[in-house]
Structure 1
């Protein structure tokens, strides 16, 4: 419909006050300027200029055209600036995270990144660590924060602090003073991480051969859903402690951590920030640094 050169010529005519003066400024023939404006008006189906003798001024349609066109020009300049930066982050950076990270360090990490890279777009993908590893290999994401044991080969991986898991129940559930045994835990419905994930398998192993009847395990891909189910007395659950004690999640105020015998305690989760250096060395380094800094905030 029109090009950026058309916008530049319209601007030149406005500033110069006429076609002849604009032609002189641009080093073009007046006939070329007149023909360009006439062709543009024909394509748009509107009159851009009102002619008053030798002077011209923008018509109402011309003013609207220039206002909207200027927005496009500014967008063009911003895009060029973003994608031609020689260092740091630019353009769109694709980050994949496990949901545990969403409820622990993600927000602080993104705040740190935005502070230093305000013009970068962050495209987030929340998935299981297994799927994140696949996406990283297939170049569907640039950086992944996933379980250490599921990181792909040949990545650079920066370890985060271990994330402690614990058993939780509604604060309305009466609990004994003594630590709960596996058999006592198994008497309740259990909600936890999605089926097939390492944390889910860990809960399965805790009860394998240790109690009479295996407990009913309910897996959910949404840890916030697990939190709400626990708070609403649907069952007891295994959750990351840093998530369960977060006051940003309202349901966290209505759960209690259960004291359990040592063999019933779930193991910590170990996450890494992973990326392929040949593809995303700079983005990987910057995001790893932000993740590591965010990971320390609650210790300060």
Structure 2
């Protein structure tokens, strides 16, 4: 039995799409259809039902999937037992939100290129919501974002937890003492994309305190947020790690004595199933990097007092 055909079958079952499987395996949709048809002929059973809504496993296909995943897992274990990691080839697609890109992603990539020098690493920067959609559709192998994804086909691991702060430009009109959350919320607030976890947490904090603010400005770029705050556009709501250099050189400062903000979680999310041993190895490396000073790029420097 052709292992490539089994692998193709497993990915079609996961992604529920011949087109997405073709993109995942770097081939054509016609080739995917041909492999599935050949496997169906060999097994003497129809494995998929196809209609306008997509692809679904038949009862026979569901039974075959369990055995196919077990066979591929066994083959992967065999390869891992005899293969030198330095010879690992292929492409790994990593999606990351800005907070990760501007903190420890470079350290992770450095570790990966050392461990897997022949591996091609493709990185996509996007919002957490878009990254989750891309993972679900099979466009990403692993993503680093803010939320646990509640799907049977994926796994999650909490990597880091960034304290959030109210951040202002030193010497600007926002650099003053605030008597209450109401007082602060009367100013222009700047945070991440609309409906992102930081945006939702900010809204929940304000609403739970019966504070209404009509000037929450959502920006989908950490660099743009930093520039806007530095130029006196408003009060930033973001992890201090993102702007540690600006704080250290005196351009920005964290406000003290104001209501605490919920931390920002950083979560690794990836697909479950067979053939993903490499992805899970990368998750382990990401966990190590996020826990060490290597990935923090001197982010633990002391914060100047206001």
The separation in 2 between residues aligned to 1:231 and 1:91, in whole angstroms, is: 42
- 1:205-216 equivalence runs, <5 A: 205-208=204-207, 210=209, 214-216=213-215
Cα offset, 1:171, TM superposition: 1.0
Residue aligned with 2:225, SS: helix
Q: 1:269 aligns with which of 264, 268, 273?
A: 264
- 1:136-215 equivalence runs, <5 A: 136-150=135-149, 152-173=151-172, 175-176=175-176, 180-208=179-207, 210=209, 214-215=213-214
What is the RMSD of the two structures over their aligned residues, measured on CA atoms? 2.6
Q: Is the 8 A contact 1:191 1:238 kept in 2?
A: yes
The separation in 2 between residues aligned to 1:186 and 1:115, in whole angstroms, is: 47
The residue number in structure 1 matching 2:277 is 282
Q: 2:291 aligns with which of 289, 292, 296?
A: 296
The residue number in structure 2 matching 1:217 is 216
Q: Is the 8 A contact 2:206 2:212 kept in 1?
A: no
The residue number in structure 1 matching 2:229 is 230
Cα offset, 1:257, TM superposition: 0.4
Identify which range, 206-215 or 126-135, moves more after superposition: 206-215
The residue number in structure 2 matching 1:62 is none
Q: TM-score, normalised by structure 1?
A: 0.63
The residue number in structure 2 matching 1:95 is 94
Q: TM-score, normalised by structure 2?
A: 0.62
Q: Is the 8 A contact 1:189 1:217 kept in 2?
A: yes
Note closer, same or farther for the CA distance 1:294–1:93 as it changes in structure 2 (3 Å cut). same
The residue number in structure 2 matching 1:257 is 254
The residue number in structure 2 matching 1:56 is none
The separation in 1 between residues aligned to 2:139 and 2:111, in whole angstroms, is: 23
Q: Is the 8 A contact 1:169 1:237 kept in 2?
A: yes
Note closer, same or farther for the CA distance 1:173–1:112 as it changes in structure 2 (3 Å cut). same
Unaligned runs of 5+ in 2: 1-81, 299-306
The separation in 2 between residues aligned to 1:282 and 1:149, in whole angstroms, is: 21
Cα offset, 1:256, TM superposition: 0.2
- Note the alpha carbon deviations across 1:20-49, whole angstroms, 9 max, x for none: xxxxxxxxxxxxxxxxxxxxxxxxxxxxxx
The number of aligned residues is 211
Q: Is the 8 A contact 1:143 1:274 kept in 2?
A: yes
Residue aligned with 2:199, SS: helix
Cα offset, 1:250, TM superposition: 9.1
The residue number in structure 2 matching 1:51 is none
The separation in 1 between residues aligned to 2:204 and 2:215, in whole angstroms, is: 13
Q: Is the 8 A contact 1:98 1:146 kept in 2?
A: yes
Note closer, same or farther for the CA distance 1:173–1:192 as it changes in structure 2 (3 Å cut). same
Cα offset, 1:212, TM superposition: 6.4
Note closer, same or farther for the CA distance 1:211–1:278 as it changes in structure 2 (3 Å cut). closer
Q: Is the 8 A contact 1:208 1:214 kept in 2?
A: no
Cα offset, 1:252, TM superposition: 7.0
The residue number in structure 2 matching 1:79 is none
Cα offset, 1:92, TM superposition: 1.4
Cα offset, 1:96, TM superposition: 0.8
Q: Is the 8 A contact 2:148 2:269 kept in 1?
A: no
Cα offset, 1:187, TM superposition: 2.5
Note closer, same or farther for the CA distance 1:102–1:280 as it changes in structure 2 (3 Å cut). farther
Identify which range, 189-198 or 128-137, moves more after superposition: 128-137
Note closer, same or farther for the CA distance 1:95–1:126 as it changes in structure 2 (3 Å cut). same
